[in-house]
Amino acid sequence: MNENTIEQRLIKTLVRFGFPHLQVAVDSQGVAELIGSVATSDDRAFVASIASTTPGVTSVKNQLRVAKP
């Protein structure tokens, strides 16, 4: 599975869970980088969990920020 396929699968999953605004990049080694803002630290952890369980992802670089209200 190539990085584009992994990236598209992860993006579709994030959209399904209500996170369409996040940026995702997956490199050739399967490292998924998450970029953007989420509402809570629980959301940050949840998105990282989604990414880490996506087939083909070997590790997650979580660059998500918790937005201040």
Domains of the chain: 3-59 (3.30.1340)
69 or 26, which is more confident?
26
Instruction: Single out the residue of 19, 8, 16, 7 nearest to residue 43, CA to CA.
Output: 19
pTM above 0.85, yes or no: yes
What pLDDT, in 10s, does the model give residues 11-58? Answer: 999 999 999 999 999 999 999 999 999 999 999 999 999 999 999 999
| pLDDT value at 68 more than 80 | no
Q: What is the pLDDT at residue 1?
A: 84
Read out DSSP for the chain? --HHHHHHHHHHHHHHTT-TT-EEEE-TT-EEEEEEEESSHHHHHHHHHHHHTSTT--EEEEEEEEPP-
